[in-house]
Amino acid sequence: MGKKPAITVIDYHMGNILSIVNKIHRTGYEAIVTNRIDLIKTAEKLILPGVGHFQRAIENLKQLKLLDVLNEAVLVRKIPILGICLGMQLMAEHSEEGDVDGLKWFDAEVVKFRVSDQLKYKIPHIGWNNAIIEKESPLFKGISHEAMYYFVHSYHIKCNKKEDILTTTEYDYLFTSSIQKNNILGTQFHPEKSHDAGEILLKNFAKL
């Protein structure tokens, strides 16, 4: 048996990285936490985490000079990457949060929840919800369709191409809760906080 490839978690000062690392270790894989360009250049799998403000996240990536190396790894070398929560939103063209452009890997925008009843549907959307499978993906292999995932967010991604949508979730209305285009994947929910389903999902990602 060959050595399992480590998963490189990008540290740009915006993520709850420890819980992700702990969950990766539970899957039997190693995790490298870094913002070093040389290590990202040689990574075999990438996770882009994120909690917080979209504009600040983009500024941090720019200050750490990570935009070019990420584009090269993802768009040229075609390294599998998983964006989590804000990390997924950063893959869009643009966000209402800060009115700034994202990485532009998906034809999509990030918009604030506009719910019909703010007492019934509190923003941010916090808690457990399901994910309706919209297309087959190895990311959800072996996970029950009834599985619940943990969400914390006030904004969500709005995909312009239906084929990029992996799952949808209902919170007053249907929104996109995970995406995939070739080697680029993202979940709005937190797999590292989603118990067994999240652990299986991270293991599936590690096997891509």
Q: Note if 192 is an active site residue.
A: yes
Q: Note if 190 is an active site residue.
A: yes
Contact 135, 166 (CB under 8 A): yes
Q: How far apart are CA 186 and CA 180, in angstroms?
A: 6
Q: Which residue(s) pair with 132 in the sheet? A: 168
Contact 195, 181 (CB under 8 A): no
| List 146, 190, 195, 199, catalytic entry | 190
Amino acid at 106: F
| List 25, 30, 192, 199, catalytic entry | 192
Contact 125, 154 (CB under 8 A): yes
Among residues 10, 92, 102, the alpha carbon closest in space to that of 55 is found at 102
What is residue 134's three-state secondary structure? coil
Q: How far apart are CA 198 and CA 147, in angstroms?
A: 9
| List 44, 85, 159, 195, catalytic entry | 85
The size of the chain, in residues, is 208
Q: How far apart are CA 69 and CA 12, in angstroms?
A: 13
Annotated catalytic sites, by residue?
85, 190, 192
